[in-house]
Structure 1
């Protein structure tokens, strides 16, 4: 995984050479604007080797493909969130993984499309969910034949090589007034501040960029979008209700409530997952 060197310009403010180590050298922080990214590795893993089957079965996930009920619950919650801004007739998802969100959107009568780099996910989506997912990277793939109503990217932007290129592609894919829906880990969460390098969502082997509500808002607005809503939710916000009656679920509920507040409700900044909804502006107005 290739990332910024210590002398590269900050992708958020453009300042060069104004960085400092953070989290015992795991991250670099721009001393001008505060944006953070993963520190360069002496032996980076090529991107083509990062997101193989092991990543989805025993790497970042316990077994992504086996947890169908949980994935569908997450997908339904995310679709309802997107629909608080608009009722899209067409959706393009960047990095849909196995395609559960697109499955939920299709069931709601929405025309769906997706671009996914991991071959194992593309195969699953096509064979098991019958979804029209293309293999490739969203930001370098051809745009859709017609502008779409919504572009969605859930836990994708922190992985991409160039967030500017990604957001430019999203703007190009959307109709005027169309929606961009993004979700990423929140480096400014209460748990991240408390746990430091042990924070579960840090994942420096996979996550290049580490966003806070202000930095994500600034980045998105710099690419022709108007941010309509930005908040945070807990990881447990996406867990099925039956989880809460288990001993593990009850203990998680107590810990999250004590650390950041009611985990079943969004919060402007405290929780681990950062969500943003924005609308596409006309290019001559930004």
Structure 2
């Protein structure tokens, strides 16, 4: 996994990930609007974004709370780049459970956006959040929803399964129970609004074509010759109509997700109990 992540978010694919994160402004604003309803005028004072990547979410959130300190924690060096860009005030590089003791009491807000499913021990991550937050502090979590019907219909091509990155998936009732067991009381949830547009049929179609003709420059694959590269370029032209149809259908799915208040992801906001 260390070898895989080295090129998946940094290195070889860093430019691609950067473009993807820049396109998620609406998602960042949705998270901000969700949590803003539960913050007092004097909070947050200090916010720790765990799994911050390059700090794109912090960049958006700072516009809403310009007086707050936004720090990022991540295993890769992207979080340090976020500091250099001025999007994050301070960076913490490493594993959250290992850094929790020294970070304890420094933040009244902790967030984990599509992070928990990547971790080897998610319960240890929740323990770390409970240790860091003071009584009354808030934890914001956003994760894929494995109970979304298309997760089964699309099978391994459903993007939020995201092999080999996603190690654990959480039905919402299970995650709520895990939070309560750690003195973190769920106070709000969002489901349909948290739906990620394009993550169903569009990404499944892209995964189909990528599996059919993998990227010849991927460091984890064997070298491919000139003939293969030419064939792959031809396939990229052929896949455009299928992506257009998938994109339109995903738009309809997004509208349906909002109407039934279910989606391919959900958000939970939990408050640390005063007695913990």
TM-score by length of 1: 0.69
- Structure 2 unpaired stretches of 5+: 200-240
Aligned-partner Cα distance in 1 for 2:15–2:87: 24
The C-alpha deviation readout for 1:64-103, integer Å capped at 9, x for no partner, is 2234642444323222222122242221111101101112
Aligned to 2:142: 183
Change (3 A) 1:93 1:271: same
What are the within-5 Å matches in structure 2 for residues 48-63 of structure 1?
A: 48-55=2-9, 63=16
Aligned to 1:195: 154
1:252 to 247, 252, 259: 247
Change (3 A) 1:266 1:115: farther
Change (3 A) 1:208 1:91: same
The C-alpha deviation readout for 1:224-263, integer Å capped at 9, x for no partner, is 111112232221299xxxxxxxx96885354453x57534
Change (3 A) 1:237 1:205: closer
Aligned-partner Cα distance in 1 for 2:105–2:178: 25
1:273 to 248, 265, 273: 265
Aligned to 2:86: 129
Change (3 A) 1:140 1:267: farther
SS state at 2:136 partner: strand
Aligned to 2:55: 99
Shift of 1:196: 2.1
Aligned to 1:210: 169
Aligned to 1:262: 256
The C-alpha deviation readout for 1:138-171, integer Å capped at 9, x for no partner, is 1211442644221100011111121121111101
For the pair 1:115 / 2:69, whether they are aligned, the reply is no
Aligned to 1:159: 118
Aligned-partner Cα distance in 1 for 2:102–2:120: 18
Aligned-partner Cα distance in 2 for 1:151–1:223: 15
Aligned to 2:225: none
Contact 1:151 1:180 in 2 (8 A): yes
SS state at 1:152 partner: strand
For the pair 1:78 / 2:31, whether they are aligned, the reply is yes
Aligned to 2:97: 139
SS state at 2:140 partner: strand
Change (3 A) 1:167 1:256: same
- Please say which structure displays the higher CA radius of gyration: 2
- Structure 1 unpaired stretches of 5+: 1-46, 239-246
Shift >4 Å, 4+ stretches: 56-59, 247-251
Aligned-partner Cα distance in 2 for 1:267–1:53: 38
The alignment's C-alpha RMSD in Å is: 2.8
SS state at 2:134 partner: strand
Shift of 1:58: 6.7
1:221 to 180, 184, 204: 180
Question: Relative to structure 2, which stretch is displaced further, 211-220 or 103-112?
Answer: 103-112
Contact 2:79 2:93 in 1 (8 A): yes
More helix by share: 2
Aligned to 2:131: 172
Contact 2:56 2:87 in 1 (8 A): no
Aligned-partner Cα distance in 1 for 2:148–2:124: 26
